[in-house]
């Protein structure tokens, strides 16, 4: 009697996360450079700065998560793109949260750790609810 594993959804190759990460890093970096060089610190520029920061850090995190999963679980094949992208965006949102706290001069170790625990709990809740992580 053989045990059959359920069919996993189609997984992307390594090119999809790397190319998407490159696009996010280039877009976020270009917007950040443009904002720093050619704008005044008005409200819309600050919101655009936070959005560009999320894009930049999410792109970098996407590369790191792809590399980590490839090293950690080579037998399972590449992880799904939705799980990688969700976790990369959570890392980017956490980085933007830290920048926002630093602007208000409210950032300290305790609040940074508490925010990290909240973001990790959010990811754990998503996985417990049935969302695939990889």
Q: In total, how many domains does the chain have?
A: 1
49 occurs within a structural domain: yes
Alpha carbons 95 and 90: distance in angstroms, whole number:
9
Q: Looking at the domain assignment, is residue 4 inside a domain? A: no
Tens-place pLDDT, residues 74-102: 666 667 788 888 889 999 999 999 999 99
Does residue 63 sit within a domain? yes
Task: Report if residue 116 sits inside a domain.
Answer: yes
Q: What is the pTM of this model?
A: 0.80
Domain membership of residue 1 (yes or no) is no
**Angle value at C-alpha 42, between 109 and 102, nearest 5 degrees:** 5
The boundaries of the domain holding residue 88 are 17-129
Residue 119 in domain: yes
pLDDT for residue 131:
61
126 pLDDT tier (thresholds 50, 70, 90): confident
Instruction: Specify the pLDDT at position 31.
Output: 97
pLDDT at res. 37: 95
Task: Tell me the per-residue pLDDT of 10-66, one tens digit each, with 9 for 90 and over.
Answer: 555 677 888 999 999 999 999 999 999 999 989 999 999 999 999 999 999 998 887
Residue 39 lies in a domain: yes
Report the Cα 66 to chain-centroid distance in Å.
Answer: 11
Confirm whether 2 is domain-assigned. no
């Amino acid at each position: 009697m053989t045990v059959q594993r359920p069919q996993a959804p189609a997984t992307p190759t390594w090119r999809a996360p790397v190319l998407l990460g490159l696009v996010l890093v280039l877009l976020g970096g270009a917007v950040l450079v443009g904002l720093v060089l050619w704008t005044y610190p008005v409200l819309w520029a600050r919101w655009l700065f936070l959005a560009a920061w999320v894009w930049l850090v999410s792109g970098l995190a996407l590369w790191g998560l792809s590399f980590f999963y490839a090293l950690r679980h080579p037998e399972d094949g590449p992880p799904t793109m939705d799980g990688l992208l969700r976790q990369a965006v959570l890392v980017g949102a956490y980085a933007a949260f830290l920048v926002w706290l630093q602007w208000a001069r409210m950032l300290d170790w305790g609040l940074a750790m508490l925010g990290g625990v909240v973001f990790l709990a959010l990811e754990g809740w998503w996985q417990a609810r049935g969302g695939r992580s990889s």
